[in-house]
Amino acid sequence: MPQLQNKLALIVGAGREPGRGIARRFAREGAQLLLIDRDAAAGDALARELDAPFFHADPSDKNALLAAITQATAGAGRLDILVNAAMEEPQWTRLEELPDSAFEQGFAQGFYSALWAMRALQPLMRANGGGRIVNLGSVYGENVAEYIGAYSAAAEALRALTRTAAQEWGADNILVNVLMPTVDDERFRAYHEQHSEHVDTTLPLVALQRFGDPVEDIGGAAVYLVSDDSRYLTGYTIHADGGYHMAGPVYVPVMEV
């Protein structure tokens, strides 16, 4: 049974996972989609697949993003769901060598793009009796942040922004939450291939012992956060990570059962 029939959803960063998986799942659940991404080829491909309009813009460029949002929502005059998933792959650099420009870029992608989109769309949601905003967080921001200082700081700043928006906009029935996924995407598979011994040793420490399928696992959790089911949940972080957030590198016996 489709959970998002007649809902209109804008996905910023729909060109790759997890935004793409979320878009595919939303489409399956009956939502109408508006897609934004910096990668024109990936955006066009998804647009054709889902028969949804694509608006090409770099979300870390404020003017470009706002122009795309205006264009995307002009016809509808409403928006039910906003998903902010514009964070790109981080630079791996030691903190003492990480240039200011990396922080500027990380915050533009991971923090400001969400802020700009949220502020641009809040009036529309408010005028239509409410809405749902899902901001993609990072387990590397919440936990290990080795050599990705800019990326993780931006991801955690987004969580503070989420709480502020939840508190200020709750009276207008705009619900704002963070979805923190572990995604079984190309990047993860490439890492797994390069570091198979490491991944094969540590993945069994995660409760469900895998990273998430973008459509079934992460997309499913995203549907949960924007559907009527979670109508009383705002200001929080939900981990779609198969239990990754409670798997510590602790010394426990491996029990063969």
Q: Does 2 bind other proteins (CB under 8 A)?
A: no
Interface of this chain with other proteins, residues 44 to 83, rule: CB under 8 A: none
- Return the residues of window 223-252 that contact other proteins according to CB under 8 A: 223-224, 227-236, 238-243, 245-247
Residues in the interface with other proteins (CB under 8 A) total 42
Q: Which residues are catalytic?
A: 151
In the complex, least distance from residue 25 CB atom to other proteins, rounded to whole angstroms:
9
Rounded to the nearest 5°, which phi and psi values hold at 117? -65, -40
Decide if residue 202 touches other proteins (CB under 8 A): no
Q: Kindly identify the residues of this chain, within the stretch 207-226, that bind other proteins according to CB under 8 A.
A: 207-209, 212-213, 216-218, 220-221, 223-224
By three-state DSSP, how is residue 179 classified?
Answer: strand
Amino acid identity, position 144: V
**For residues 245 and 239, what is the distance between their CA atoms, to the nearest angstrom?**
7
The three-state secondary structure class of 256 is: coil
How far apart CA 56 and CA 68 sit, in angstroms, is: 7
Q: How far is the CB of 157 from other proteins (least distance, A)?
A: 16
Q: What is the DSSP letter of 110?
A: I
Among 101, 167, 201, 202, binds other proteins (CB under 8 A): 167
User: Which helix (H) or strand (E) is 150 found in, with range?
Assistant: helix 149-169
For the four alpha carbons of 86, 77, 220 and 232, in that order, the dihedral sign comes to: positive
The C-alpha angle with vertex 68 and arms to 62 and 73, in degrees rounded to 5, equals 125
Residue of 45, 56, 139, 170 that binds other proteins (CB under 8 A): 170
Interface ranges with other proteins (CB under 8 A): 1, 3, 163, 166-167, 169-171, 173, 175, 206-209, 212-213, 216-218, 220-221, 223-224, 227-236, 238-243, 245-247
